């Protein structure tokens, strides 16, 4: 089934790998990007791809993105939230670190919330709407001293459960994708795990693509994707 899918965070990393893979599979895309021109001359510079300016922290941006997607494609039946940020803010954060925490809530939690709310009527209309959310294993457990990021991702996981509950009777199926480290810019500062031992963005693109082939009775709510054993 050919879908029309709205994706955030597709300029690089996991979102980019997913977008390129879904385009190759024949899906039509709308990408919400901070700098749409950065994709000129790439495989995503394509007639089946709409690129729209989108800043996840701007409350008006979600409505604009949905409106422009509807204008161009007449609607959409999939939404994939990949935009996100990482700060390693600890529990006992320094004075002056509050803006980092606020950015985590704003981009990792309120961004997906607002965009889901704006997209809801169109997802509902399709009867087989799909939402995939790049949560993280940090939305399921807290490791080490990082506090702000996992708190934002636990909130995002709660949002996924609320979306699942709200959308079930209308055929909207939600998957919270929860990787540990993935070899992207976000994990470039990680020294304990070499990039080649991390989950690769292409593997998550494969999972995302496979999820879209499943019927309303078979979509898993949660996918934990570990690159190393966690017990």
Ligand X SMILES: NC(=O)c1ccc[n+]([C@@H]2O[C@H](COP(=O)([O-])OP(=O)(O)OC[C@H]3O[C@@H](n4cnc5c(N)ncnc54)[C@H](OP(=O)(O)O)[C@@H]3O)[C@@H](O)[C@H]2O)c1
Q: The tokens 């997906």 sit on which residue?
A: 112
Give the residue ranges of DSSP H helices in 90-147. 98-103, 111-126
Establish if 112 lies at the interface with ligand X (CB under 6 A). Answer: no
8-state DSSP, 188: T
Instruction: Between 83 and 147, name the residue whose CB sits nearer to ligand X.
Output: 83
Q: What share of the chain is helix, strand, coil (3-state, %, to 5)?
A: 45, 15, 40
Does the footprint of ligand X cover residue 140 (CB under 6 A)? no
CA separation for the pair 29, 64 (Å, rounded) = 16
> CB of 55: closest distance to ligand X in angstroms?
5
Q: How far apart are CA 226 and CA 224, in angstroms?
A: 6
Note whether 211 binds ligand X by CB under 6 A: no
State the number of binding residues for ligand X (CB under 6 A). Answer: 27
131 forms part of the interface with ligand X (CB under 6 A) = no
- State yes or no: is 54 an active-site residue: no
The verdict on 104 binding ligand X (CB under 6 A) reads no
16/173 with CB nearer ligand X: 16
Options 4, 6, 7, 9; binder of ligand X; rule CB under 6 A: 9
Q: Is 182 exposed, middle or buried (0-12, 13-18, 19+ CB in 10 A)?
A: buried
Compute the least distance from the CB of residue 71 to ligand X, in Å.
20
Which x/- pattern over 36-75 shows residues binding ligand X (rule: CB under 6 A)?
------------------xxxx------------------
Short-list 73, 21, 24, CA closest to 52: 73
What is the pattern of x (binds ligand X, CB under 6 A) and - over residues 165-204?
Answer: --------------x-xx-xxxx-----------------
Provide the strand spans (E) within the chain.
4-8, 28-33, 49-53, 78-81, 130-134, 173-179, 222-225
Footprint on this chain of ligand X (rule: CB under 6 A):
8-9, 11-15, 34-35, 54-57, 82-85, 107, 134, 136, 179, 181-182, 184-187
| Catalytic residue positions, numbered | 149
């Amino acid at each position: 089934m050919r879908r029309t899918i709205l994706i955030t965070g597709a300029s690089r990393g996991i979102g980019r790998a997913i977008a390129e893979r879904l385009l190759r599979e024949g899906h039509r895309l709308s990408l919400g990007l901070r700098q749409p021109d950065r994709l000129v001359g790439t495989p995503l510079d394509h007639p089946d791809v709409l690129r729209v300016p989108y800043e996840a922290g701007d409350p008006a941006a979600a409505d604009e993105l949905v409106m422009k997607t509807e204008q161009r494609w007449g609607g959409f039946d999939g939404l994939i939230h990949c935009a996100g940020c990482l700060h390693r803010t600890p529990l006992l954060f320094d004075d002056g670190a509050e803006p980092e925490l606020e950015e985590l809530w704003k981009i990792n939690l309120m961004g997906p919330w607002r965009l889901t709310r704006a997209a809801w009527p169109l997802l509902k209309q399709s009867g087989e709407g799909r939402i995939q959310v790049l949560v993280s294993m940090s939305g399921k457990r807290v490791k080490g001293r990082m506090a702000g990021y996992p708190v934002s991702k636990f909130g995002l996981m709660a949002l996924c459960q609320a979306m699942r509950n709200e959308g079930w009777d209308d055929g909207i199926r939600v998957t919270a994708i929860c990787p540990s480290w993935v070899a992207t810019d976000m994990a470039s500062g990680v020294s304990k795990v070499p990039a080649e031992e991390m989950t690769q963005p292409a593997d998550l693109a494969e999972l995302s693509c496979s999820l879209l082939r499943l019927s309303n009775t078979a979509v898993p709510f949660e996918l934990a994707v570990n690159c190393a054993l966690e017990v």
